[in-house]
Copies of this chain bind each other. A is one copy, B any other.
Amino acid sequence: MLVILHTNCTTAECDAVEDCIRRMGFNPLPVPGSNRTAICITGNRGPVDAALLARLPGVMECIPVTKKYKLVSREVHPLDTIVRIGDVQIGGPVPVVIAGPCSVETEARTLAIAHAVQAAGATMFRAGAFKPRTDPYAFQGLGREALVALRRVREVTGLPVVSEVVDAESIEAMLDVVDVLQVGTRNMQNYALLKQLGQVRKPVLLKRGMAASLDEWLMAAEYLLAGGNDQVILCERGVRTFSTHSRNTLDINVVPVVKKLSHLPVLVDPSHGIGHRNFVRAIARASFAAGCHGVLIEAHTDPATSYTDADQTIDVPTLAGVVRDRDLLLQLEAT
């Protein structure tokens, strides 16, 4: 249940509504919005008596929410959320292209790649400082040393930076350097981490878990919004199936379905989605055509020598092709 308040509702009226909800045995959760103020009722298993609330002063209407997720639902927030990072808008009419190497290698190389992807048309930079690796003996990222390189990228190129956060401890250090905190597929249901990130005032890019249902993914996002962080970007990166011709099975269907159910922007990661560099551009193009709000792509000035994910990392000219496809599809829609 969502209780929509009149725009001129007073603080006292708002408090009274919250008190009433508490007396009914539920939890009120204020949902600030640009066009209206609302209070979301959580903690209810059965039906809520809307009539009781509807007659309180300041209440405009009561909207039942049929999904388990509330704050991420379009029922509660009909308009698209646009996440703004400097001049970049994620969730608006122009799909973003976020590109960079899988992991920060050296500062010099990272800067060179950043310049190259910027020249190719990317408007955000991605690179991993902390890498969650299946193999404990494999390269785990440069860690805090990598953050220094990312800070330089931001200073020199002006590109906003996305990087993965793997534990609560490193959040603080990343907040200084990174514009969007990425939660990786293996941590999508690391609820302890999600609770921490709900407290943060930086956008979070939440990748879909390898075998997460759409509901589980949206519920993971709900953890962030329920914690107070409504700057959430979803990112499909392929799911695990029986198929072996690609690294993962990109679930292109999820793009239009998410857009119907949720107001949050949804990106696609074609690099992990298909896992072979020769096919990344075709899949990025398909993702734009399916209506995604942008792509997150592994790109490198010299893909073959990439420390990690070399197979799925594209070169800079291919990235320029991805940007061109995005632009042409935008023109197409304009006609």
Binds B, one of A10-18, A95-103, A117-125, A327-335: A327-335
Measured between beta carbons, the chain B residues less than 8 angstroms from A135 are 68, 219, 222
Give the B-binding residues of A (Cβ under 8 A). Answer: 27, 42-43, 68, 132-137, 166-169, 186-187, 189-193, 210-211, 213-216, 219, 222-223, 226-227, 238-246, 249-257, 260, 273-274, 276, 278-279, 282-283, 285-291, 325, 328-329, 331-332, 335
Q: Top 4 nearest A-B pairs by Cβ distance?
A: A211-B211, A167-B192, A186-B189, A289-B289
The answer to whether B254 and A282 touch across the interface, beta carbons within 8 angstroms, is no
Central interface residue in A226, A245, A246, A283, by most chain B CB within 10 Å? A245
Chain B residue, CB-CB nearest to A140: B191
Q: Would you list 11 pairs from A and B whose C-beta atoms are within 8 A, ordered by A residue?
A: A42-B137, A136-B227, A211-B242, A214-B245, A239-B242, A240-B242, A246-B257, A252-B286, A253-B279, A256-B283, A286-B289
Bound together, the chains give a CA A169 to CA B276 distance in angstroms of 39
Chain B residue, CB-CB nearest to A257: B245
Of B27, B186, B251, which contacts A249 at CB under 8 A?
A: B251
The answer to whether B291 and A27 touch across the interface, beta carbons within 8 angstroms, is no
Bound together, the chains give a CA A42 to CA B139 distance in angstroms of 12
17 more CB-based (< 8 A) A-B contacts, given A249-B249, A253-B279, A282-B289? A43-B137, A132-B189, A134-B189, A135-B219, A136-B223, A168-B168, A169-B192, A211-B211, A211-B240, A239-B249, A240-B242, A241-B241, A245-B253, A283-B290, A289-B289, A289-B325, A325-B332
Central interface residue in A134, A187, A246, A253, by most chain B CB within 10 Å? A253
Of B242, B250, B335, which contacts A242 at CB under 8 A?
A: B242
Measured between beta carbons, the chain B residues less than 8 angstroms from A243 are 213-214, 239, 251, 253-254
Of B27, B190, B240, B252, which contacts A187 at CB under 8 A?
A: B190
Bound together, the chains give a CA A252 to CA B289 distance in angstroms of 12
The answer to whether B136 and A219 touch across the interface, beta carbons within 8 angstroms, is yes
Total copies of the chain: 4
Measured between beta carbons, the chain B residues less than 8 angstroms from A246 are 253-254, 257
Question: Closest Cβ of chain B: how far from A209's Cβ, in Å?
Answer: 8
Chain B residue, CB-CB nearest to A238: B253
Question: Closest Cβ of chain B: how far from A56's Cβ, in Å?
Answer: 22
Bound together, the chains give a CA A135 to CA B43 distance in angstroms of 10
Chain B residue, CB-CB nearest to A68: B135
Measured between beta carbons, the chain B residues less than 8 angstroms from A328 are 332, 335
Bound together, the chains give a CA A211 to CA B133 distance in angstroms of 16
The answer to whether A285 and B279 touch across the interface, beta carbons within 8 angstroms, is no
Measured between beta carbons, the chain B residues less than 8 angstroms from A274 are 253, 256-257
Measured between beta carbons, the chain B residues less than 8 angstroms from A43 are 137
Chain B residue, CB-CB nearest to A281: B256
Bound together, the chains give a CA A214 to CA B262 distance in angstroms of 32
Central interface residue in A216, A278, A283, A287, by most chain B CB within 10 Å? A283
Bound together, the chains give a CA A238 to CA B186 distance in angstroms of 18
The answer to whether B241 and A242 touch across the interface, beta carbons within 8 angstroms, is yes
